[in-house]
């Protein structure tokens, strides 16, 4: 009986590669989107005053969507192109529109008997959520 050939098998141990464990990205808190500003409206309680008199200037802002979190929006008031005041307007949950009132006292420089001030309000395009 012929001897069957023996197959020699050498087992070489290869350093094992650890099994890959799928990495789960850390869970991010859901981002709250900014809300665009729909309109900015300005009005004053009087437009004809004498020097030293205070004018109440009201700025009404309407957002494009109803906020489901608290949002903030800086409002800057300009007179003849110069910034005269900045205030943060807060939009609580559900408040799509808000108003802010500035009390501005106009005092003429000496020697000037009359001056016209061109006043407007400016806001960024988007209200941002309060972190």
Partner 1 sequence: MVKRSRKIEIRVKKGFKLALKASRYTRWGETLPLEGVRIPVYDAIYFSLIKECYTPCEVILPAGLAVRIIAPATAYSYVFVEWSDGKRERDRVINMVKDIELEARYSPP
Q: Residues in the site for partner 1, rule: CB under 8 A? A: 37, 39-44, 46-51, 53, 55, 57, 59, 79, 106, 108, 112-125
CB nearer partner 1, residue 93 or residue 108: 108
Q: What are phi and psi of 93, to 5 degrees?
A: -55, 130
Comparing CA positions, the residue from 14, 22, 35, 28 lying closest to residue 90 is 35
Q: How far is the CB of 81 from partner 1 (least distance, A)?
A: 10
Q: How far is the CB of 65 from partner 1 (least distance, A)?
A: 15
Q: How far is the CB of 67 from partner 1 (least distance, A)?
A: 16
Comparing CA positions, the residue from 56, 57, 61, 85 lying closest to residue 73 is 61
Helix (H, G, I), strand (E, B) or coil at 17: coil
CB nearer partner 1, residue 6 or residue 116: 116
| Residues whose CB is less than 8 angstroms from the CB of residue 95 and which lie 6 or more positions away in sequence, other chains included | 66, 67
CB nearer partner 1, residue 55 or residue 130: 55
CB nearer partner 1, residue 66 or residue 83: 83
Q: How far is the CB of 43 from partner 1 (least distance, A)?
A: 7
| Residue 126 structure tokens | 């988007």
């Amino acid at each position: 009986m012929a001897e069957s050939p023996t197959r020699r098998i050498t087992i070489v141990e290869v350093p094992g590669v650890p099994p890959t464990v799928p990495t789960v990205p850390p869970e991010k808190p859901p981002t709250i989107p900014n809300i665009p500003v729909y309109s900015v409206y300005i009005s004053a309680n009087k437009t004809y005053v004498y020097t030293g008199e205070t004018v109440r200037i009201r700025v009404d802002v309407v957002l494009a969507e109803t906020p489901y979190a608290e949002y903030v929006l800086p409002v800057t008031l300009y007179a003849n192109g110069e910034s005269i005041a900045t205030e943060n307007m807060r939009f609580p949950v559900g408040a799509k529109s808000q108003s802010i009132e500035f009390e501005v006292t106009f005092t003429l420089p000496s020697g000037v008997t009359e001056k016209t001030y061109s006043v407007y309000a400016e806001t960024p395009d988007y209200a941002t959520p309060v972190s």
